[in-house]
Amino acid sequence: MKVLVSGGGTGGHIYPAISIVRYIKEKYPDSEFLYIGTEKGLESKLVPNQHIPFKTIEIQGFYRTLTLKNFKTVYLFLTSIKQAKKYIKEFQPDIVIGTGGYVCGSVVYAASKLNIPTIIHEQNSVAGMTNKFLSKYVDKVGICFTDAAEYFPKEKVALVGNPRAQEVMMVDKKEVLEEYGLDSDKPTIVIFGGSRGAQTINNAMKEALPLFKGKPYQVLYASGTIYFDEFKEKEELIKQLTNVTVVPYIDNMIDVLINVEALVGRAGATSMAEITALGLPSILVPSPNVTDDHQTKNAKSLVDKQAALMIKDSELTGKSLVEQVDKLMLDDNYRQTMAKASKAEGIPDAMDRLYGLIQELT
């Protein structure tokens, strides 16, 4: 089987695509793959590192305000469709899968016009503009949140979940907290703001550090590399806090998540898939700087099921952070109840479901 995948811009679009490729490759080693992305996007770094054949097209997203730059966007969209068709004709895929981001708009649209079976995957509870557009042309739409169904033609929609969730479930547990100077036998919460960090969470953590002193639980905080230097002035305090570790980045995040009791973080699609797959209680701080405030809607899907707590970004302080962490970490029964609710929202067989759609179309 030949599979062409496209998705880019953010890790939330790219990681599911990579997970799909890994899964099919493991199931059918003779399968061939091609990934189409952009030269400037994150996919240009992540995909080649996975030894997946990679080609690029030039395209940019639409600006939501009236601007002459959108004329260039239209021009690039039309020329990128032509380039995508060239790649598709050369590769001759059995199926084309788009996982979001404007790059897959040209690729999946081109495939549909060439009568290649097509699937798009929507990770968030609010559909992105590209996927809304593509849903008119594709054969199937895979969603992760039931709320997303309203944006697409009903007859095309299938609840499949995020492929990242099933991949997380396949990781073997091993003790890793000692690598961060922590004790594997103590309840631990990990706090992070994404790969680059988040300024609001960072500011709250600086205020919260002295408030964590003497707590019967541990805190592992990943500040993001661009914010790590801000903790230099807190270095002496951090040394005195035997239950708190601050690092710039956590390379083995999945291994860490398997070994902690709870987390604090943003409400991006990948994080949500990992949280529910592992059944982790969480305190979510949705980013306000995303399209259609979709992270708040992602978070509310868990909060409404008593599977998570939420703090608005504008209301996050050191005090409010510690209050919510205490609420979670000092009450074992409450935390375990939330863990069960979180687990119930997960879709652990996401890749199997998505592959089922592929089989329907090929």
Q: 3-class DSSP state for residue 183? A: coil
Instruction: Find all residues with CB under 8 Å of 287, minimum gap 6, and list them.
Output: 194, 198, 266, 267, 268, 295, 313
Rounded to whole angstroms, the Cα distance separating 208 from 188 reads 16
What span, in angstroms and rounded, lies between the C-alpha atoms of 11 and 21?
15
Cα–Cα distance list, 264 to 8, 167, 261, 344 (Å): 26, 21, 11, 19
124 is in an annotated binding site: yes
Give the contacts of 320 (CB within 8 A, at least 6 positions apart): 204, 311
DSSP bridge partners of 4? 34, 96
Instruction: Tell me the C-alpha distance between 193 and 251, whole Å.
Output: 14
Please name the residues in contact with 95: beta carbons below 8 A apart, sequence gap of 6 or more: 1, 2, 3, 4, 116, 117, 118, 119, 358, 361, 362
Q: Is 128 annotated as a binding residue?
A: no
Asked if residue 166 belongs to a known ligand binding site, the reply is no
31 is in an annotated binding site: no
DSSP state of 152: S
Residue 265, annotated ligand binder?
Answer: no
Cβ neighbours of 181 (radius 10 Å): 12
295 is in an annotated binding site: yes
- Flag whether 12 is marked binding: yes
Q: Which residues are annotated as a binding site?
A: 10-12, 124, 195, 250, 295
Q: Which residues are annotated as a binding site for UDP-N-acetyl-alpha-D-glucosamine?
A: 10-12, 124, 195, 250, 295
